[in-house]
Structure 1
Amino acid sequence: MLSLERQRRLLQHVRTHGSGNVLDLAEELGVSASTVRRDLREMDERGLLTRVHGGASVLDTDVEPVLSSRSAERSEQKRRLGEAAAERVPDGATVLITGGTTTETMLPFLAGRERLTVLTNGLNIAYQLARYPEISVVVLGGVLRHDEMSLLGPIAEHVLAEFHVDLAFSSAFGVDPEHGISGANVTEAGTDRRMLQSADKLVVLADSSKFGRRGPVRSARVDQISCLVTDGDAPAPALQAFRAQGVEVVIR
């Protein structure tokens, strides 16, 4: 593999995932760890990324492109999921919307709701809701996870404790009818777990690509999920298993 092509793929990986580990990158590209380290050093010197211990991460200026690239993935499926999820929000509700590009697709469909309060730990969610003055928005505090533009930690949890949440809406890294929903980041998943437990009902938005994979940390058990919103390509056996456990499944 030519150096230019290798570095292009390295940069694409780091921008997509927010960071990259040397050993994982070496395995993915089929090259040695020393080659990856040399490439990362060169790319850091050129201002393309930031070297960190054991790998690399995106530059601060890369945060929006990372989110934008994820928004573009399966955009039509996500839009349909967002519309279906928003239909479940009644006037006067207090809802929690976790940060993410899938949950963000709900927001245009919430316009015009009366007496709606939205709590969120996602700066992208709060930013998009700023265009709807009729919606009350509460931003949960916390430590910023730069690549996801989400706020994490006990500050968010303390603020959330002051509210009664009718519905929580969450995306997921992985969806499994035995394991529930899981996240890829340990710190983020811990905060998500405590947030999702605060709501009377939990609605999960997950396109078909999220089925059959598990992250390292479980965000919610299956018995905590009230409704699963997905698309028509989701595997039928998994959907049947969710229904058998009392989860309402909505397909869009």
Structure 2
Amino acid sequence: MSNTELLGLERQERIAQILEQRGTLTVAEISESFDVSEATARRDLAALASRNLIRRVHGGAMRAHTVATSEAPILNRQEQNAEIKKRIGQTAARRIQNNETVLLMGGSTGLAVARELGEHTNLTIVTDSLFVANELMRQGNHKVIMLGGMIDPAEFAVRGTLLRLILSELQVDKVVLGTKAISAQRGLSAESAEEAEIARAFIHVGHHVIVVADSSKFQQTALVRVVPIESIDTLITDAGIPPSALESFRERGITVEIV
């Protein structure tokens, strides 16, 4: 990829972020703010719309979605269902074997998994989370690869185009990730198109996909579909999972572990 192409991707990422904050942007505003021609601004919007990150309107664009529900920042979520998350983390850790390569997505449950890897040896762990990386570095017995990109201050995690470009080049033994919402019918869901795209990129690089989610995730809804439920291999959750959901997951060939 040339420097010009990378600059274009960075500009598009910034446009998407501004739209998330403001709701709308015109072609003229983009042209003036980024010192590019209106033709270039239109091409940027077309590229973003093709990835479902924005919605084109006459003369400009608007954000692609309205968030149905919003999670608290990770600092506030760490203590929610802490004991359940600890048990989920312990069970997920048992699924990971020494010498494996693991892609561990951030979030409060992902951090709970990281905390249970202290007895493992010679893991190579790739993560988007500053908290997860810090915990693994504290343990001192793994190779830790921190993904690059723009840092989301609410999640202490990396986001953006550069992150997705790096992920597209990876392949790992196991992917471990959380989710905003999950159901057998709708699969995994996320709050925004960007979050969905990142989660999808994580899932596509793993030979075995493990979703870690406490049972509250079965009672939530989120706007953007990530993947159908058949895209995952193992679900680790707690005893609060509705019996009908448990049956539906197992009918679809998914291994469900209850902690």
| TM-score normalised over the length of structure 1 | 0.71
Select which of 159, 162, 169 maps to 1:152.
159
Counterpart amino acid of residue 120 in structure 1: T
Select which of 108, 111, 114 maps to 1:104.
111
In 1, the alpha carbon distance for the partners of 2:183 and 2:246 equals 9
Q: How many residue pairs get matched?
A: 189
| Aligned residue number for residue 87 of structure 2 | 80
In 1, the alpha carbon distance for the partners of 2:227 and 2:104 equals 15
Select which of 141, 146, 171 maps to 2:178.
171
In 1, the alpha carbon distance for the partners of 2:172 and 2:239 equals 30
* CA RMSD in angstroms, aligned pairs only: 1.6
| Aligned residue number for residue 129 of structure 1 | 136
Task: Tell me if 1:244 matches 2:251.
Answer: yes
In 2, the alpha carbon distance for the partners of 1:171 and 1:107 equals 13
Contact 1:140 1:151 in 2 (8 A): yes
Identity of aligned residues (%): 31
SS for the counterpart of 1:215 is coil
SS for the counterpart of 1:92 is coil
| Aligned residue number for residue 194 of structure 1 | 201
In 2, the alpha carbon distance for the partners of 1:95 and 1:220 equals 20
SS for the counterpart of 1:144 is strand
SS for the counterpart of 2:95 is coil
SS for the counterpart of 1:136 is strand
The offset of 1:98, in angstroms, is 0.7
Unaligned runs of 5+ in 1: 1-20, 22-64
Counterpart amino acid of residue 126 in structure 1: A
Counterpart amino acid of residue 132 in structure 1: Q
Contact 1:176 1:213 in 2 (8 A): no
In 2, the alpha carbon distance for the partners of 1:150 and 1:68 equals 12
Contact 2:121 2:141 in 1 (8 A): yes
In 2, the alpha carbon distance for the partners of 1:81 and 1:112 equals 16
| Aligned residue number for residue 222 of structure 2 | 215
In 2, the alpha carbon distance for the partners of 1:85 and 1:177 equals 20
